[in-house]
């Protein structure tokens, strides 16, 4: 991080002086007028602005709270510990955290060298980054939750990107622009954040697997829909590419969450469709074998008999036209 920026960020604010003088509780009036601790974007955002930054206040513990905006934190130095769903999430230098509006969290006391920057962003800020993402992925799903509902699913994403110099440079540029209040910078900031997201997609291994309470569910549901739609040609490597993760990590998530490997799920779906064709159509068995993605007829016949105890022909004779079918 640029030395001039870090010098500015290390300065003790008036709020922090209060805490150093002995006040042990957060000065809530700085953050909200509400009785419940919900930090209000209007306290910090200037008129007609979609985003701003504020250094995380040190020397005090923040009790559990929520925001009426999307919060992103980038740790410049030291470490900052969040409590999310009762779990301690320790952020170190270079870590990047996204919290949506429904996420409730607390933050442990930070000391002088623990420098975190809070990006305070309205949903409108993400219009351009969302367009830049285009394809379906965990970031697009996360941002989409912001727009799809007045009460989006509460979750967060934590990226460990301290070794990603491209992201660090982009973050530094945004922090500099917002700290020094460069005029008419919102659109530039939106494109810059879009570039950050695109870099994150290239480095999805930096996303902690347990960052989002529904991340694994999103991946598994996407995998199941993909298998259902493309069972003839489905490949695990395609899911890995879609989620910008390694094949081995995607394979592990699918196995842990469903109890089946990708290959087993694909086989189950292929045989379910084969049974449907067998009992609902008059298509030749050899044609059905091709329709569900198998080229080796003898392999299909052997697996079918192991699963159902009879040949496909006998299965058709027994179940064709019946409402109850063994899948």
Strands 87-92 and 79-84: what pairing?
A: antiparallel
Q: Which of these, 140, 118, 117, 114, lies nearest to 127 by C-alpha position?
A: 140
Q: Please tell me the predicted confidence (pLDDT) of residue 203.
A: 74
Q: Please tell me the predicted confidence (pLDDT) of residue 151.
A: 46
Q: Please tell me the predicted confidence (pLDDT) of residue 184.
A: 66
Fold of 3-206: Jelly Rolls (2.60.120)
Domain boundaries, the chain: 3-206, 214-327
CATH 1.10.10.60 fits 214-327, yes or no: yes
- Find the length of the chain: 327
- Write down the residue that tokens 């084969």 correspond to: 274
Q: Which of these, 62, 11, 3, 6, lies nearest to 38 by C-alpha position?
A: 62
CA distance 184 to 297: 65
Chain-centre distance for alpha carbon 65: 21
Q: Please tell me the predicted confidence (pLDDT) of residue 200.
A: 85
Which residues, listed in sequence order, are joined to residue 107 by a DSSP beta bridge? 62, 82
Tens digit of pLDDT at every position of the chain (327 positions): 788 889 999 999 999 999 999 999 999 999 999 988 999 999 999 888 899 999 999 999 999 999 989 889 999 999 999 998 788 999 999 999 988 777 889 999 999 999 999 999 998 898 898 888 876 566 777 777 665 554 455 578 888 888 889 999 999 999 988 888 766 678 889 999 999 988 887 776 677 645 554 567 778 888 888 899 899 999 999 988 877 778 998 999 999 989 999 999 999 999 999 999 999 999 999 999 999 999 999 999 999 999 999 999 999 998 887 655 555
Q: Please tell me the predicted confidence (pLDDT) of residue 143.
A: 73
Q: Please tell me the predicted confidence (pLDDT) of residue 142.
A: 73
Q: Please tell me the predicted confidence (pLDDT) of residue 6.
A: 92
Residue 22's region, left for phi above 0, alpha for psi from -120 to 50, else beta, is left
Name the pTM for this structure.
0.69
């Amino acid at each position: 991080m640029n030395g001039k920026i870090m010098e500015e960020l290390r300065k003790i604010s008036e709020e922090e002086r209060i805490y150093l003088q002995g006040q042990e509780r957060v000065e809530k009036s700085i953050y909200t007028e509400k009785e419940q601790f919900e930090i209000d974007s209007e306290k910090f955002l200037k008129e007609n602005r979609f985003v701003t930054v504020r250094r995380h206040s040190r020397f005090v513990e923040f009790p559990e709270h929520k925001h009426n905006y999307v919060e992103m934190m980038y740790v410049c130095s030291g470490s900052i510990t969040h409590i999310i769903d009762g779990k301690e999430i320790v952020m170190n230098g270079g870590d990047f955290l996204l919290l949506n509006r429904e996420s409730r969290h607390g933050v442990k006391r930070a000391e002088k060298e623990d420098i975190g920057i809070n990006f305070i962003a309205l949903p409108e800020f993400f219009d351009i980054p969302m367009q830049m993402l285009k394809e379906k992925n965990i970031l697009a799903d996360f941002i989409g939750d912001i727009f799809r509902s007045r009460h989006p699913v509460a979750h967060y994403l934590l990226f460990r990107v301290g070794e990603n110099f491209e992201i660090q440079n982009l973050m530094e540029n945004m922090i500099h622009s917002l700290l020094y209040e460069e005029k008419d910078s919102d659109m530039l900031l939106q494109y810059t954040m879009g570039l950050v997201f695109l870099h994150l997609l290239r480095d999805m291994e930096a996303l902690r697997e347990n960052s989002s309470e529904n991340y694994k569910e999103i991946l598994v549901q996407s995998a199941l829909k993909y298998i259902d739609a493309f069972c003839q040609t489905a490949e695990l490597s395609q899911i890995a590419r879609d989620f910008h993760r390694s094949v081995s990590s995607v394979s592990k998530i699918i196995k842990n969450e469903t109890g089946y490997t990708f290959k087993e799920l694909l086989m189950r779906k292929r045989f379910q469709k084969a049974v449907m064709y067998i009992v609902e159509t008059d298509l030749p068995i050899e044609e059905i074998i091709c329709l569900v993605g198998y080229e080796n007829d003898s392999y299909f016949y052997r697996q079918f008999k192991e699963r159902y105890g009879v040949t496909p022909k006998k299965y058709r004779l027994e179940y064709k036209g019946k409402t109850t079918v063994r899948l």
